[in-house]
């Protein structure tokens, strides 16, 4: 029920922004639209603070980190490749034709800004911990504000039947199947973790605020820590894919983002892929956000 409540809040803020567009004072809307492009980096700064705090609270961090990075990389790549194949079979071509050095340079600059924001957030958290301070920036509250701003922006964007296009469903399908394939690949490299547990970990789709808690409660703290860090790294890899090749393969990049496509990585979708692919991100992220707690809970309980 908690996951449905979280999703409801996100959609409510998105809808509120959409409804209030053109009804707010012009000066306030101008401020909102100027603030929107920078929200990506504000979110990344806050995420890095949470990441730093997590590192200080988990046992055997190096072992957990190495396992989590590998699982996250394989499942993210699996989702990307699987979605690419599905749309390739339908005859879809890369969005921008030939590779443009200008676009590549722009993508590298954007991702460098992203990592600078992450680095600053991590450094800030570590410095605060050194002085026995506990800074708290609510990423959830920031997400709600961001969803409101996106709602305002969407009200000025052309919305059509593409939101209801059945082919959009191939994006979350690619994530589900690709994540499973990534789990099978990880089984060969991480024999200390059972295949059943790897499949369970692969179905979090980046929903780290849920998976860590569920897996800890239903399995054990060690796997719970891996689940948390795995989904955090899936989020980071999604950001990398989004900025480096999202402009060329937007659907595949959105698929690799998993459940985060409708919230944390949505600013990156807008920035790297464009408004045309916001429907893909919202629909895919919504479906995976609903499925993640259900699948993880069932697999953890078996």
pLDDT in the model for residue 171 = 93
pLDDT in the model for residue 97 = 46
Whole-model pTM? 0.72
Coil, helix or strand for 160?
Answer: coil
End-to-end CA distance of the chain: 20
Q: Cα separation of 223 and 201, whole Å?
A: 8
What is the crossing angle of helices 278-301 and 195-202, to 10°?
Answer: 150
Average pLDDT value for residue range 184-209:
90
For the ranges 50-54, 104-108, 202-206, 239-243, which has the lowest average pLDDT?
A: 104-108
Average pLDDT value for residue range 24-45:
82
User: For residue 232, what are the contacts with CB-CB under 8 A and spacing of at least 6?
Assistant: 47, 51, 54, 68, 72, 208
Q: Which two tokens stand for residue 107?
A: 């993508």
**Sole residue written with tokens 């026995």:** 132
Average pLDDT value for residue range 169-187:
95
For residue 71, which phi and psi values (nearest 5 degrees)? -60, -45
Q: Which two tokens stand for residue 33?
A: 């639209």
Q: Which of 204, 5, 38 has its CA nearest to residue 117?
A: 38
Q: Which of 260, 298, 62, 21 has its CA nearest to residue 155?
A: 21
Q: How many separate domains does the chain show?
A: 1
Residue 223 has pLDDT above 90, yes or no: no
- Confidence label for 2 from pLDDT (cuts 50, 70 and 90): low
Q: Cα separation of 172 and 287, whole Å?
A: 7
Residue 202 has pLDDT above 90, yes or no: yes
**Distances 60 to 107, 183, 199 between C-alpha atoms, Å:** 35, 22, 22
**Distances 58 to 177, 224, 249 between C-alpha atoms, Å:** 30, 10, 36
3-state helix, strand, coil in the chain (%, to 5): 80, 0, 20
Polymer length of the chain: 302
| pLDDT per residue as tens digits for the range 5-28 | 766 777 788 789 888 888 888 888
For the ranges 133-142, 160-169, 200-209, 252-261, which has the lowest average pLDDT?
A: 160-169
pLDDT in the model for residue 164 = 63
For 107, the domain range is 2-301
| pLDDT per residue as tens digits for the range 120-156 | 988 998 898 888 787 777 777 887 887 788 788 777 7
């Amino acid at each position: 029920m908690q996951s449905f409540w979280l999703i409801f809040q996100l959609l409510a803020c998105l809808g509120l922004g959409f409804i209030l567009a053109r009804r707010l004072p012009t000066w306030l809307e101008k401020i909102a639209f100027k603030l929107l492009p920078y929200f990506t980096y504000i979110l990344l700064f806050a995420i890095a603070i949470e990441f730093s705090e997590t590192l200080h609270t988990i046992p055997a961090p190096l072992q957990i980190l190495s396992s989590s990075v590998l699982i996250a990389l394989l499942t993210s790549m699996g989702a990307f490749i699987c979605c690419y194949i599905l749309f390739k079979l339908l005859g879809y071509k890369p969005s921008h034709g030939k590779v443009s050095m200008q676009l590549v340079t722009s993508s590298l600059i954007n991702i460098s800004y992203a990592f600078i924001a992450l680095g600053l957030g991590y450094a800030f958290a570590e410095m605060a911990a050194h002085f026995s301070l506990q800074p708290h920036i609510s990423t959830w509250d920031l997400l709600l504000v961001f969803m409101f701003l996106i709602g305002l922006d969407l009200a000025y964007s052309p919305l059509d039947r593409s939101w209801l296009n059945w082919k959009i469903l191939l994006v979350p399908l690619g994530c589900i199947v690709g994540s499973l394939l990534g789990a099978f690949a990880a089984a060969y490299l991480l024999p200390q973790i059972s295949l059943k547990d790897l499949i369970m970990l692969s179905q979090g789709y980046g929903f780290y605020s849920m998976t860590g808690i569920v897996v800890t409660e239903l399995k054990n703290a060690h796997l719970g820590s891996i689940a948390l860090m795995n989904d955090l790294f899936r989020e980071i890899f999604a950001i990398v894919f989004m900025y480096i090749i999202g402009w060329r393969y937007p659907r595949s990049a959105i698929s690799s983002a998993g459940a985060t496509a409708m919230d944390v990585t949505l600013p990156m979708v807008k920035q790297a892929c464009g408004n045309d692919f916001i429907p893909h991100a919202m629909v895919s992220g919504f479906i995976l956000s609903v499925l993640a707690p259900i699948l993880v809970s069932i697999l953890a309980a078996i």
